Structure 1
Amino acid sequence: MDREGVGRVCLALPGATLDHPFGDDHDAYKVGGKMFVMVGATGGVSFKVSDIAYEVLTESGHARPAPYMARAKWVNLPQIDDWADEELADHIQSAHAIIVGKLTKKARAELGL
C-alpha cells in the first residue's frame, strides 16, 4: 500500500475526513475531529491501536511506538509498505472503530455512526 492507498482506505470509513494540522506533507485522518491515522512527510504511517495490540506489535518488533503518540497507544511503521495491504487496512479499520467508540453518543449520532 502507498500513501494514496491509505487515504482511500481511511476516507472509505464512515465519517472520516482528511486534515493537514501539521503541514501539507502530513495527512491526518480523523473521525469526529479526532485523529485515527497519520501519514508523515517521510512516508511512515502511525495509527491508534488497542492496549493489547500495542503490546503485541511493539514487543514483537512488528511496529514501533509512534513518536509523540506512544503514551496514547499509537504505533508507527517507518514505511507504509512494511505490512501487507490487507493487514494494514484491518488495522486502519480498527483504529477508526477505537476512536468512534470514544466519541460521545451525540457526536456519533451527528456523524450517522
Structure 2
Amino acid sequence: MGDDIVQGWAAARAEELPEADVDQPFGPEVDVFRVRGKMFMALSRSTGEPIVTLKASPPDAEALRSSFPAIIPGYHMNKKHWVTLRSDGSLPQDLVEELVTEAYRLVVASLPKAQRPVDPEVFGRI
C-alpha cells in the first residue's frame, strides 16, 4: 500500500462532490478543496508524510481522535474543528470517504441556502 493511498481516496471522493473545486493558494505543495470558495479539505506533505486535513464537528473530531491513532488534531488548523488523517495504513477507505463527505456537508450547511449545491441534511446519507 502506497503511503499516499489515503490522499488518493480523499481526493477521488472530493472530486465527485457537487461544485467542489481544488486550488493551491499556499503553493504547489498543498491542494485545497473548496465548495463555493469555502475550504473543507487540504492535502499536503507539510509534516513530511502525506496527510489529509478535514473539517469536522467538534464532537466528531474528539471521538475520531480518541478512536483512531491515525487521526490527530488538524495540522495548522483550529484543533476543535479540524482533524488530520495520517497515511499509516490503518484507516479503511470507506471511513476516509465518509469523513470527506461529512466535511463537505458541514461547509455546505454553513452557506446561505441559495448558495448550497446540495441539501446537507440528506446529501450522502441515502
Bucket of the pairwise TM-score, normalised by the shorter protein: 0.7 to 0.9
Q: 1:47 aligns with which of 54, 58, 63?
A: 54
Structure 1, unaligned stretches of length 5 or more? none
Q: Which amino acid aligns with 2:34?
A: K
Q: 2:113 aligns with which of 105, 109, 112?
A: 105
**Same amino acid, percent of matched pairs:** 26
Q: Which amino acid aligns with 1:52?
A: P
Give me the whole-angstrom Cα distance separating, in 2, the residues matched to 1:25 and 1:55.
28
Give me the whole-angstrom Cα distance separating, in 1, the residues matched to 2:113 and 2:87.
35
User: What is the CA RMSD across the aligned residues, in angstroms?
Assistant: 1.9
Q: Which amino acid aligns with 1:90?
A: E
3-state SS of paired residue (1:36): strand
Q: Which amino acid aligns with 2:91?
A: W
Aligned length: 110
Q: Give the alignment's TM-score, normalised by structure 2.
A: 0.77
Give me the whole-angstrom Cα distance separating, in 1, the residues matched to 2:104 and 2:27.
22
Tell me which residue corresponds to 2:28. 24
3-state SS of paired residue (1:35): strand
Q: Give the alignment's TM-score, normalised by structure 1.
A: 0.84
Give me the whole-angstrom Cα distance separating, in 2, the residues matched to 1:11 and 1:102.
20
